[in-house]
């Protein structure tokens, strides 16, 4: 429910979307997410392709019954958790404060 003092309209949202501050926010988000996603997908597909086309390499024993394939598979989990940790840290420090400022301006009807 709005108190009527500063109604949020579609024009307000469009103005924010066209603002330099919002463009900077999107640029920062893409600057983190796209390279990170590209890295992870390359790493994942390397693992899958090596499993398909180089099974003898993936089956090479490193220590006892631990193979290169097993280590790379576990590396997928480690990478996933590391990316999640880094994103949460980055978002809390860089992204969220800027997004919150834009949101507060929308909620409060403040000026740019």
For residue 44, what pLDDT is reported?
97
Mean pLDDT over residues 20-28, rounded? Answer: 94
pLDDT of 75 over the 70 cut: yes
For residue 107, what pLDDT is reported?
81
- Three-class SS string for 6-21? CCCCHHHHHHHHHCHH
pLDDT of 108 over the 80 cut: no
Write down the residue that tokens 């880094």 correspond to. Answer: 86
């Amino acid at each position: 429910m709005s108190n009527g003092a500063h109604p949020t309209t579609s024009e307000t949202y469009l103005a924010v979307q066209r603002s330099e501050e919002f463009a900077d926010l999107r640029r920062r988000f893409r600057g983190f997410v796209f390279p990170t996603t590209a890295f992870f997908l390359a790493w994942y597909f390397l693992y899958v392709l090596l499993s398909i086309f180089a099974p003898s390499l993936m089956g090479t024993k490193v220590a006892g019954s631990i193979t290169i394939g097993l280590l790379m598979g576990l590396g997928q989990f480690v990478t996933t958790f590391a990316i999640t940790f880094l994103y949460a840290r980055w978002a809390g420090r860089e992204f969220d404060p800027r997004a919150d400022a834009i949101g507060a301006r929308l909620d409060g009807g403040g000026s740019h």
